[in-house]
Structure 1
Amino acid sequence: MMDDHYGLRGRPFQLTPDPRFWFDTATHGKAMAYLGYGLSQGEGFVVITGDPGAGKTTLLGHLLAELDGERLNVIKIVSTHLRADDMLRLVAQGLGLPGDDLSKAALLLAIERGLHEVARAGRRTLLVVDEAQALPGESLDELRMLSNFQAGGYPLLQIFLLGQPEFRLVLQQPAFEQLRQRVIAMHHLAPMEVEEVEAYLMHRLMLVGWSGRPRFTADALAAMHRWSGGIPRRLNQLASRVLLYGAVEQIENFGAPDVAAVIEDIEQEDVIEPAPEPVPEPAPVRAGRVAELRAVPEGSAETRALERRVAELEAQVASQSDALRRVLSLLVDWVEKDDGRSGIDLDALRGSAA
């Protein structure tokens, strides 16, 4: 609908990352500069982090599209909590090597030989790991070990790690000190500035045939930046809904009220009605001992057990009473021999002993 209304040839704000829509914001330009610097060094690790939706995958796609495949062998891995052995097998597959039935030692040897083969063919090997924050510690350590492979003093493998912001905290742990020492460049993808929003939207619209419709006022752009936080994916989500709203309402120029109406719709969709609080069941009232005995069928094993327990308790009480009487009797006899000087009431003691 919005394609027909605005004369567009495609979807300019799709959520799926597409390198064709690469836009060089200030922060993405810096990231590309760091990646280019890393490639020129040909060794170590380059780390790029960013919030979900910040454009890491689009950045990676743009980088790979710019690389010369004749000079660089790129192995791309998207981490899904890969164990060390599984990750090594993916690296081996990227080198065109079978690795399913190999032990870890044989797998490492095969990878090293494969890297040598690539180098002898005049190419370098680049390993790119996306979602690196999901890698277990043992897998990160294996990557460090792979970066040690050399030939004639030159590294055989370079590694780019892309991950969410918490990955920077992972690298600060003492266990990864050696890996951290091999990081030659690190950059965090920041949200775009409000001044970049209009150019970003126009760039994507023009790639699908924008011919002047629609347009956005300054206050509309500011509202879109506030809601999205400058995160490209959230901005795409909002812009796509704004265009749909405009197509339905026949809007050519969007202002802040139009954007506010769309935001309200989105936020209402995101509201999840809270589930009703479960009514707690009343705690069962423990019956008294007599009630328990009455509730148990006569002659059952439980009845006999309860009766034995009651008899034992009654015997204990009787025994304790006899012992107390004997103690009191001895005390009375001792006091009577003491010439009555203690002032103890003998009648009271006798009454207690009785």
Structure 2
Amino acid sequence: MYTAHFGLREVPFSITPDTSFFFTSPHSQEALNTLLVAARNGEGFIKITGEVGTGKTLLCRKFMATVGEGFVTAYIPNPYLEPRTLMLALADELGVVLDKDVDQHQLLKALTMRLMELAGQDKRVLLCLDEAQAIPVESLEALRLLTNLETEKRKLLQIVLFGQPELNRKLELESIRQLAQRITFHYHLGPLTRDDLEYYLAHRLRVAGFAGARIFSRSAVSRLFSASGGIPRLVNILANKSLMVAYGEGRQQVSRKHVAEAARDTGAVKRRLWPWLGGFSVLLAAAGGLAWALTQ
């Protein structure tokens, strides 16, 4: 709606995890480096935690796109699955052909043979589980048993858990203490700092095609930081709405007032981080901007 007005090719602050917008802040770069080092070391379990909206899914996708040709990646975005269904999902990701009524023994045998086949091709298999705090305890234990499969030199399967801090509390359970002991690499994603935010905004605008000097005034950036707490998803929601408000007024720069209006409109979103439940005032402002544009 506002892209042409600001000289953009695309919307710069979508909440869809697009790896072309991946921002290498100190936090995200350290997390990515941790993942790459751990994967190449052949560790069984790797854990990345972070609060809601800190960019875990985007990091996961960037990691899978970066590991290189020596790896085969499997991705399960919703692992709230009982053990057998989780194994079936993994088999599907690895291209394992199964009989319709395959029993548990044949399922595990087929998975093992596929993992051995890939190891024979000098491929390492990475299973990335998003929203890992939702995995049932029994399924975590099933995953641990899968990581027992190994050649004389390395594991046949590495597992990367991406989850909210609740995952840490789940891993403290006595029943899965053996899994917790196998997590040798861990990183916690934090929010953006005030300085990071300045570069984050400029980076996303540049990727979206902006070639000008500055869209967000310094006071707007400060207000955006205080309203979002540096949480990338909230930054995206507020920045997007701020651009709509500025567009609605026919302005070429986002001011502190525009961000404040976006923040008021996003009060419910900040509490629950459900962006599609925001109010309608910003959309009305954008509609006003469309009318303004048509009159020019």
Shorter-chain TM-score bucket reads 0.7 to 0.9
Q: CA deviation at 1:214?
A: 4.7
Kindly indicate whether structure 1 or structure 2 has the higher relative contact order, using CA contacts under 8 Å at least 6 residues apart: 2
Question: Shift of the alpha carbon at 1:154?
Answer: 2.2
Instruction: Provide closer, same or farther for how the CA distance between residues 40 and 67 of structure 1 changes in structure 2, counting only shifts above 3 A.
Output: closer
When the two structures are superposed, what TM-score results if normalisation uses the length of structure 1? 0.73
- Aligned residue runs from structure 1 range 248-259, under 5 A: 248-259=248-259
Aligned counterparts of 1:121 and 1:244: Cα–Cα separation in 2: 51
Q: In the superposition, relative to structure 1, how do residues 28 and 75 fare at CA in structure 2: closer, same or farther (>3 Å)?
A: same
The SS at the match of 2:142 is helix
Partner of 1:222: 222
Write out per-residue CA displacement over residues 85-127 of structure 1, whole angstroms, 9 at most, x where no aligned residue.
Answer: 0011112222321334221122111111111111111211111
Superposition RMSD on alpha carbons, in Å? Answer: 1.7
Deviations 1:25-46 (A, max 9, x none): 1211111121012112112111
Cα offset for 1:211? 2.0
% identical equivalent positions:
36
Q: Are 1:200 and 2:203 an aligned pair? A: no
1:190 aligned residue: 190
Task: Tell me the residue number matched to 2:285.
Answer: none
The residue type equivalent to 1:244 in the other structure is: M
Aligned residues of 2:19 and 2:61 also touching (Cα < 8 A):
yes
Superposed, which structure 2 residues align to 1:266-345 within 5 Å? 266-267=266-267
SS at match of 1:150: coil
- The 2-side partners of 1:139 and 1:4 are apart by 49
| Distance in 2 of aligned mates of 1:240 and 1:222 | 16
Q: CA–CA distance in 2 between the matches of 1:80 and 1:157?
A: 17
Gapped regions of structure 1 (runs ≥ 5): 272-354
In structure 1, the partner of 2:50 is 50
Secondary structure, aligned partner of 1:162: strand
Match of 1:37 in 2: 37
* TM-score calculated relative to the size of structure 2: 0.87
2:144 corresponds to which residue? Answer: 144
What does 1:17-96 align with in structure 2 at a 5 Å threshold?
17-69=17-69, 71-96=70-95
CA contact (8 A) 2:243 2:254 kept: no
Counterpart secondary structure, 1:253 = coil
CA contact (8 A) 1:213 1:252 kept: no
Question: Aligned partners of 1:204, 1:94: CA distance in 2, in Å?
Answer: 31
Taking the aligned partners of 2:87 and 2:134, their CA distance within structure 1 comes to: 16
SS at match of 2:75: strand
Q: Shift of residue 151 of structure 1?
A: 1.6
Tell me the secondary structure at the aligned position of residue 9 of structure 2.
coil
**Between 54-63 and 152-161, the greater mean CA deviation after superposition:** 152-161
| Residues 12-61 of structure 1 deviation map (CA, whole Å, 9 limit, x = unaligned) | 00111111100011211111121012112112111001122111111111
The Cα of 1:270 is off from its aligned counterpart by 5.2
Aligned AA (1:200): Y
User: Is there any run of 5+ residues in structure 2 with no aligned partner, and where?
Assistant: 269-276, 280-296
1:214/1:254 contact within 8 Å kept: no
8 Å CA contact 1:6, 1:213 repeated in 2: no
Q: 1:267 to 1:180 in 2, by over 3 A?
A: closer
Q: 1:258 to 1:203 in 2, by over 3 A?
A: same
Could you give the per-residue CA deviations for residues 248-280 of structure 1, whole angstroms, max 9, x where no partner exists? 112223332232122223338858xxxxxxxxx
- C-alpha distance in 1 between matches for 2:153 and 2:6: 58
Q: Give the Cα–Cα distance (whole angstroms) in 1 for the partners of residues 251 and 214 of structure 2.
A: 8
CA offsets 1:180-224 (integer angstroms, 9 cap, x no match): 111011111101111111110110001121122652232211110
What is the match of residue 169 of structure 2?
A: 169
CA–CA separation in structure 1 for the residues paired with 2:95 and 2:216 = 50
Contact 2:79 2:130 in 1 (8 A): no
